[in-house]
Every structure is written in structure tokens, then in C-alpha cells.
Amino acid sequence: MNGVADPVVINLTVFVLAVFVGYHVVWTVTPALHTPLMSVTNAISGVIIVGAILAASPATVDFGSLMGALAVGLAAVNVVGGFLVTQRMLAMFRKKAPRAGAAPAKSSAGH
């Protein structure tokens, strides 16, 4: 032992900490913050796509480049699905436009 930590141990430690923190962040968020949280995860997935493209781009095809290509596909599905869900959730909070054939609401001020 020369005092240098094994990279596998470091990567595994970061992964376990990320899972732990992610679990606590997701399960302690209030329902009102789910839409902004979804938007942030979409941005993170966009960063993952960039990293995955870099991992998938070597000239030789090996396990790492195959995993990078898989990561590009999965992150792209996540981004598209996340934006669709976010749009649908935001549409629930928009004011509804009155229908063209609907009668105007009666006022009770004169009665």
C-alpha cells in the first residue's frame, strides 16, 4: 500500500452517497415543488447526455462506448418524457379560456 485509494472504491463511494442523497431529496420534497424538481432533473439529464456522447465517441468500440451509447438513449428518453410531464403539469395551473358558445356568467349585483 502506497497510500493511493483504488479508483473503484472512490467511484463506488460516490455512487452510494449519490443514491443516499438522491433518495432523501426526492422523498422529502413537498408536492408543490415536484414540477420545479422535474425541470431540474431534465437539466441534469441534458448534462448526462453530453457526458454519454463523450463516452460513446471513441474510435474503437468497447464496453465503455456501448454503455455511453445506451446512456445517450436512456437520458434522451428521460429528457423528452420529463418535458412532456412538466408541460402537462403546468397546463393544469393555467386559466381555462371560456368556450366560444358558452353563455356569460350571470351577475347577482342587481338582484
pLDDT at 35 (0 to 100): 67
pLDDT digit string (tens) for 26-36? 788 777 777 67
pLDDT at 13 (0 to 100): 92
Q: Mean pLDDT over all residues of the chain?
A: 77
pLDDT digit string (tens) for 63-85? 877 887 888 888 888 788 877 87
Residue tagged 451509447 (cell numbers)? 69
**Confidence bin at 47 (pLDDT 50/70/90):** confident
pLDDT at 17 (0 to 100): 93
Other CB atoms within 10 Å distance of the CB of residue 77? 11
Q: What is the DSSP letter of 84?
A: H
Question: Percent helix, strand and coil across the chain, each rounded to 5?
Answer: 70, 0, 30
pLDDT at 84 (0 to 100): 82
